[in-house]
Amino acid sequence: MLACITRATLPTVVAATPSHHHHHAHRHAKKHAAARVEKRAPDVVTEVVVGATATVFELDGKIVDAATAKAGLAEGEYIIVGETTPTFVPPPPPPPATSSAAPLRAQFVEEPISSPAAPTTTSAPPPPPTTTAQATTSSAPPPPKTSKPAQSSPSSGATGLDADFPSGKISCKTFPSEYGAVALDWLGTGGWSGLQFVPNYSPDAQSISDIITGIAGQTCSKGAMCSYACPPGYQKTQWPKAQGATLQSIGGLYCNEDGFLELTRPDHPKLCEAGAGGVTIKNDLDDSVCTCRTDYPGIESMVIPACTSAGETIELTNPDETDYYVWDGKTTSAQYYVNKKGYAVEDACVWNSPLDPRGAGNWSPINIGTGKTADGITWLSIFENLPTSSAKLDFNIEITGDVNSKCSYIDGAWTGGDKGCTTAMPSGGKAVIRYF
């Protein structure tokens, strides 16, 4: 199985604190894995970096030249089991000298030097620029829209978002919707958002080296980490202290040897907790849109739904780094995939979309990043899903509200950057990600 690695040459970065944030290192799938492990850079907070990139292919620890790799892929001899995708969103121009605005930086920046400038609130979108959307690289016509209407985020049926989960008392055969978890039935994994079988795991383990990703048709069973979704505005609380020996992320409840679900963070007895808040999606389109968060920590597939019907507003979960997942000593934020309008959740919140294989799911046109840092500032980014996808979004996006700079994607043109933009919201503020 072939691994695809995109490497970047990075210049020196000046950070406000000793903490340096970067993308995950590439990881290899186990040869006995039940599913190919398709991998991209997850939700890690990054610094401003830019440099040359090069894609290389690796087989059994050895570099394979591009021509051989591509020929093998075309013949079906290889499959790509891993991929890293470093991206860069340039900051907007610096503010005038009289302004106290903090310099904006790349997506998921974590060390703002000072508080953002006074927020600017816009009540109407700026007029569309004359620039037209760039054509896709494919000359093939777009795939037909599904005849099944897109739906809002599935109802959890939960009665106990505020209830403590009874660790070791609930059978692994029972999906814990009564404790707030949302079943993702379209994935075919018993409602779970992801399965990672860890046969050598123990609660006192320092790391986990044997990780087998579950596939459709399997469900939570002995020796598995069973990850789950939460309603919009909430996120899962469970992941073990022991993580992948080669920096894989692992998350969820643990199904013990007796077949019962155990908390992996006993100090967080509720399965779902609210994020920092302050961020909403407002859908002003005449059709629905699915925005899908990665299952992180976990299998890192974009399956957690935040779907809006036409005219609907919902909360977008905004992690607070002070009580969220830490990867390799670094705090992390959330990453979302914005699908084209009208796609049903089972065609959007998946890795491989049966409807639009190169324009939805992992190949969605646009990503959104959000996270609240320890100083109270929420950083918000919109950026193209490069180099993974060449698909183009069929609507506009802007961030409005209590933010310190304009950030929008209108008629294929960016305000606030080249291939993306970043803005910041102070503590207590409100930001709206508007689709129109």
Residues 169 and 263 in one domain: yes
Q: Counting Cβ atoms within 10 Å, is residue 48 exposed (0-12), middle (13-18) or buried (19+)?
A: buried
Residue 58 confidence (pLDDT): 57
Q: Would residue 25 count as lying in a domain?
A: no
Residues 184, 66 within the same domain: no
Kindly report which listed range (151-165, 169-183, 262-276) carries the lowest average pLDDT score. Answer: 151-165
Least confident of 50-59, 88-97, 242-251: 88-97
Q: How far lies 166's CA from each of 171, 271, 402, in Å?
A: 11, 10, 40
Residue 380's pLDDT band, with cuts at 50, 70 and 90, is very high
According to DSSP, residue 74 is labeled: H
Nearest Cα to Cα of residue 46 among 340, 430, 371? 371
Answer whether 176's CB lies under 8 Å from 213's CB. no
CA distance 345 to 357: 14
What region, left, alpha or beta, does residue 156 occupy, with left being phi > 0 and alpha being psi -120 to 50 degrees?
Answer: alpha
Distances (CA, A) of 160 to 233, 255, 261, 283: 15, 21, 17, 29
Contact 196, 298 (CB under 8 A): yes
Choice among 49-53, 177-181, 407-411 with the minimum mean pLDDT: 49-53
Looking at the fold, whether 198 and 288 belong to one and the same domain comes out as no
pLDDT at 116: 42
Local structure of 231: helix, strand or coil: coil
Tokens of 173: 């055969």
Residue ending a domain, among 272, 289, 317, is 272
60: left (phi over 0), alpha (psi -120 to 50) or beta: left
Top mean pLDDT of 27-36, 79-88, 422-431 is at: 422-431
Q: Which of 54-58, 267-271, 413-417, 429-433 has the lowest mean pLDDT?
A: 54-58
> Which residues fall within 8 angstroms of residue 406, CB to CB, at 6 or more apart?
92, 120, 122, 126, 398, 399, 415, 416, 421, 423
Domain shared by 289 and 425, yes or no: yes
The domain that holds 371 is classified in CATH as 2.60.110.10
pLDDT band at 56 (very low <50, low <70, confident <90, very high): low
How many angstroms separate the CA atoms of 329 and 322, rounded?
Answer: 13
Within a domain: residue 126? no
Q: How far is CA 109 from CA 15, 59, 106, in A?
A: 10, 33, 6
Q: pLDDT tier at 106 (50, 70, 90 boundaries)?
A: very low
Distance CA(375)–CA(427), nearest Å, equals: 8
| pTM of the predicted protein model | 0.69
What are the angstrom distances between the C-alpha of 260 and each of 157, 168, 191, 226, 227?
Answer: 21, 5, 16, 11, 14
Nearest 5°: the CA angle 60, 363, 129 is 140
Backbone phi and psi for residue 361, each to the nearest 5 degrees, phi listed first:
60, -130
Query: Is there a domain that residue 125 lies in?
Result: no
Alpha-helix residue ranges (DSSP H) falling in 310-431? 345-348
Query: Is 159 contained in some domain?
Result: yes
User: CA 350, 352, 358: angle at the middle one, nearest 5?
Assistant: 120
Helix (H) or strand (E) holding 76: none
Tell whether 30 is covered by a domain. Answer: no
Hey, is 178 helix, strand or coil?
Answer: helix
Q: What is the pLDDT of residues 283-318, one digit of tens each?
A: 999 999 999 999 999 999 999 999 999 999 999 999
- Per-residue confidence band for 61, with pLDDT thresholds at 50, 70 and 90: low
Say whether both 236 and 384 belong to one domain: no
Confidence label for 160 from pLDDT (cuts 50, 70 and 90):
confident
Give the number of other Cβ atoms within 10 Å of residue 130's Cβ: 7
Same domain, 264 and 375: no
Same domain for 265 and 382?
A: no
Classify residue 312 by burial, with Cβ atoms within 10 Å: 0-12, 13-18, 19+. Answer: middle
Q: Is residue 165 part of a domain?
A: yes
Q: Tell me whether residue 219 is in a domain.
A: yes
Same structural domain, 158 and 257: yes
342 and 264 in a common domain: no
What is the total count of domains within the chain? 3
pLDDT tens, position by position, 27-38: 333 323 333 333
Same domain, 157 and 204: yes
Domain boundary among 225, 243, 272: 272
pLDDT class of 66 with cuts at 50, 70, 90: low
Q: Of 221, 239, 272, which marks where a domain is finished?
A: 272
Give pLDDT tens digits for 112-150: 323 344 443 333 333 333 222 332 333 333 333 433 444
Looking at the fold, whether 244 and 345 belong to one and the same domain comes out as: no
295 and 194 in contact (C-beta within 8 Å)?
A: yes
393: which 2 tokens?
Answer: 């979004």
**Domain ranges, residue 60:** 1-11+54-85
Tokens encoding 388 = 């993974």
**76 falls within a domain:** yes
Same domain, 295 and 378: yes
Phi, psi of 187 (to 5 degrees): -80, -15
pLDDT at residue 315, rounded to an integer: 98
* Bridge partners of residue 378, in order along the sequence: 372, 425
